[in-house]
A and B are shown apart, each in its own frame.
Chain A
Amino acid sequence: MAVARFVLLSKEEQDLIHQYSLKSLQEIGMLIRSDSTLKMLQDAGAEVDHSKKIAKMPESMVDEALKGAPKSIRLCARDGKNDLPIPVGGPPFVATTGLGVYVRDMDTGEKRPSTREDIADFIRLADGLGGVDFVWTSITANDVPQFSHGLHELWTAMQNTTKHVNGVSIMSAPDSRKQIELASLIAGGEDELRKRPLFSVICCSIAPLSYEGGVVEGMVEFVKAGVPVMSMSMSLSGGTAPVTLAGTLTNANTENLASLVITQTAAPGSPHIYCSSSAPISMKTGVINYMSPEQCLIAAGLGQMARRYGLPSMVGDWGVNDSETPGVPHSFTETMGVALSTMGNSDLVSGIGGIDAVKGVSFEQAVIESYIWENFKGFMREFLVSPETIALDVVRQVGHGNTFLTHPHTAKNFRKELFFRDKAKLAWEATLSDSMVPQAKEAARQILREHSVEKVDGSVIAEGDRLIREYESAAGV
């Protein structure tokens, strides 16, 4: 099947990133703040310095992990119709944003800390939106104990959607065990959950090249129970990774390979999803700059690396904007970001409903972005290239210079071959309308006033003018 896909790295560039990732794992290693994980890795062949908590992993461990990891995964949902088989052939599956800390209240328009009730509402909205394929738990429950907020978030999300739930909070091994118990209640037991994982969990390494103890131990519990994990690297160019994009790509790739070694050592063959949410830092504030074009490039490059390894991936941050209110204020940049991150080789992408660079959520934004995504899928549909679809027999029947419009082949196929937009919602795109015209007018005037072009010689111009007159008079014009 043919599909629009954005290619960033050549085969040689991918090889180099892979080669240097192995070098990084072997020579620099990973700082892992968990004695039990270090011991597990040591027993499996890693070179461990327990006093520094550093594990160096040889190429053979990476090879074995890559060989044993599943190449396709089914992220399941309470309603089987919403299951997500990955990797995808066509467009990626898109999730809600996460993990925000506030809600832009729909009634008052005010910002306020998010609650468990907001999670219920936001997830229920997402469940009803056609453009949302699965949900992240999306916002923090600020009204429950800090100690157990992840449990409240997962439990609330699972009750309010029949789509797949992607958990974002992970604190410790006992916390993970409790999350597994909760999901098992809905799945009908732990064995059932293993067969049909109704939720998956993002487990973050901390760039550069380290793991917090609770998270890595929690990740091990999840994979032992067959819950798919997304090993998210947040490699921030210039902050937690080299500012060079090649360095950022390599750091994120290295952390993903390290996570893969950990999950496949703890539970060989367990479902593992290559994952990143990486972008440069703002050189002004030091905060992650999701709006940067580099974010899409990094995602596309990592998507290619995941495909090279045959691992399903979640490397795209979709539709991220830095506006504190709903809307599409950076219209060109945002739609370009949507295009490149969804065409950038990722199987799963998240971001619907987020505002203020993921700090907040907005219900209106979720509706707008669900529409954008439903609309954008038109650009990413798969189409078949075969002797039948090339339709040479139809060309023969229509003949030279005639129209295909009245041939039955057109009537039979146009609805499935061409994409039709929702007209009413198309009107929303007025965000790209005419408010920039006055400034464009001024820019045009300034260029016409100030810009000059090197003159063509006067005699050349005269000769050209004479040629045109001669041509016209020869034709009697």
Chain B
Amino acid sequence: MDEKNVLKMLGNAIETYDSGAAEKAAKEAVKSKVDPLKAIEAGLAPAIERVGDKFEKMEVYLPELMLAADAMKSAMTVLMPLIPKDKKVSKATVVIGTVQGDIHEIGKNIVSNMLMANGFDVVDLGVNVKTSAFVDEAKRTKAKIIGASALMSSTIGSQKDIIDYLVSLKERKKYGLMVGGGPTTGEWAKEIGADGWGEDAASTVKLANKLSKG
């Protein structure tokens, strides 16, 4: 198959939210000797961006957005190992998790998947993550961004704990800190000194894009 058709096939798989087709298209790219980096940048990335635009216009909703991200992951799993280490492009590493005392993970997983689909390296620490673990892991992975999710009014205080901990280590400025989750608000993020509030998955990706440059 020629390169143009392979790229089209990759894009179509994302835009029809089809993980099986995405994997097949990625394998076709390998078989047809399409540069894997080009397959991602010219085939997959524009398609996931188009899905993101449709989401913003409310033409598609979270279920489609998530399936598109899953399809993206299926194709990336095939293509990423074939890209030489020195050529690997990641916007930034994001350490993400649900704060201590809280085991809600659906929202955090949506954000995690969307960040991955949009070219971030994501280290997902899961749920009930200790304050110090966010920071230790960010240090270890040289992350630029820490994302803390909290779903309960009774646990959002732990988001502030992470910031206070960073301040006490004198390392606050090393990381961009994003907070999100049901009871959080823009004012809350500001109040505790976070660098931004992720209202939903799409806006969190935008916020991460901003923080990765800063």
Contact = CB atoms under 8 A, between A and B. Distances in A.
Interface string B93-123: 0000000010110110010000000000000
Contacts of A281: 62
Contacts of A286: 62, 106-107, 110, 200-201
A99 B182 CA distance: 12
Nearest to B181: A287
B47 interface: no
A149 B58 CA distance: 39
Interface in A153-189: 168-169, 171
A102 B104 contact: no
B61 A288 contact: no
A101 B103 contact: no
A178 B158 CA distance: 22
Q: Which of A99, A100, A146, A206 has the most CB of B within 10 A?
A: A146
B183 A359 contact: yes
Interface string A353-369: 00010110000000000
B107 A142 contact: no
B157 A238 contact: no
Interface string B7-44: 00000000000000000000000000000000000000
A440 interface: no
Interface stretch (B74-82, B135-143, B184-192, B206-214): B184-192
Interface in A225-250: 238-240
A358 B63 CA distance: 25
Nearest to A211: B103
Interface string A105-121: 00000011100000000
A283 interface: yes
Nearest to A98: B153
A284 B61 contact: yes
B195 interface: no
Contacts of B45: none
Query: Interface on chain A toward B: helix, strand, loop, or mixed SS?
Result: loop
Nearest to B154: A169
A112 B190 CA distance: 11
A149 B110 contact: no
B156 interface: yes
Contacts of B154: 99, 140, 149-150, 168-169, 171
B3 interface: no
B138 to A, nearest CB: 21
B117 to A, nearest CB: 16
B151 to A, nearest CB: 9
A385 to B, nearest CB: 45
A111 B153 CA distance: 16
B103 A102 contact: no
B124 interface: no
A239 B55 CA distance: 18
A111 B185 CA distance: 10
Nearest to B111: A286
A111 B200 contact: no
Given A101-B156, A146-B161, A283 B187 contact: no
Given A140-B153, A283-B63, A285-B200, A359 B185 contact: yes
A171 B63 contact: no
Contacts of B153: 99-101, 140, 168
A334 interface: no
A239 B110 CA distance: 11
A212 interface: yes
Interface residues of B, number: 26
B200 A284 contact: yes
B185 A356 contact: yes
Q: Which of B61, B107, B154 has the most CB of A within 10 A?
A: B154
B157 A142 contact: yes
Contacts of A102: 185, 187-188
Contacts of B158: 146
A239 B188 contact: no
A168 B110 CA distance: 27
Contacts of A113: 188, 191
A281 B110 CA distance: 13
Contacts of A239: 106
A320 to B, nearest CB: 13
A101 B183 contact: yes
Contacts of A356: 185
Q: Which of A33, A142, A210, A286 has the most CB of B within 10 A?
A: A286
A285 B42 CA distance: 28
A199 B203 CA distance: 41
A176 to B, nearest CB: 14
Contacts of A33: 103
Interface in A335-377: 356, 358-359
B187 A240 contact: no
B157 to A, nearest CB: 4
B106 A240 contact: yes
Nearest to A149: B154
Q: Which of B55, B110, B183 has the most CB of A within 10 A?
A: B183
Contacts of A111: 185, 187
A78 to B, nearest CB: 25
Contacts of A287: 107, 182, 200
Contacts of A169: 154
A474 B148 CA distance: 86
A201 to B, nearest CB: 13
B171 to A, nearest CB: 22
A231 B185 CA distance: 27
A287 B104 CA distance: 12
Nearest to B105: A206
Nearest to B156: A101
Given A101-B183, A288-B182, A283 B61 contact: yes
5 contacts: A33-B103, A100-B153, A101-B188, A112-B191, A149-B154
Interface of A: 33, 99-102, 111-113, 140, 142, 146, 149-150, 168-169, 171, 206, 210, 212, 214, 238-240, 281, 283-288, 356, 358-359
3 interchain residue pairs of minimum CB distance: A283-B61, A146-B157, A285-B200
Given A102-B185, A112-B191, A212-B103, 15 more contacts: A102-B187, A102-B188, A140-B153, A146-B158, A149-B154, A168-B154, A171-B101, A171-B154, A240-B106, A281-B62, A285-B62, A285-B199, A286-B201, A287-B182, A288-B182
